[in-house]
Amino acid sequence: MDGSDAGARAAEVRPQLEKAVAKFNERAKSDPKFQETLKDMERRIQLDVDGDRTYNFHLKDYNIPAVNEGPAQNPDVLVSTDKETLLGIFNGDVSAMGAYLKKKIRFKATLMDLLVLKKLF
Q: What is the pTM of this model?
A: 0.84
pLDDT per residue of the chain (121 residues) written in tens, 0 to 9:
444 444 444 448 999 999 999 999 999 999 999 999 999 999 999 999 998 999 999 999 999 999 999 999 999 999 999 999 999 999 899 998 899 999 999 999 998 898 888 888 7
Structural domain span for residue 105: 3-120
CATH number at residue 54: 3.30.1050.10
Domain count, the chain: 1
CA dist., res. 74 & res. 76, Å (int): 7
Q: What is the identity of the amino acid at 33?
A: K
Going edge to edge, which strands form the sheet with 68-69? 68-69, 54-59, 43-50, 77-82, 105-108
Nearest to 46 by CA among 67, 25, 15: 67
Task: Specify whether the CB–CB gap between 117 and 109 falls below 8 A.
Answer: yes
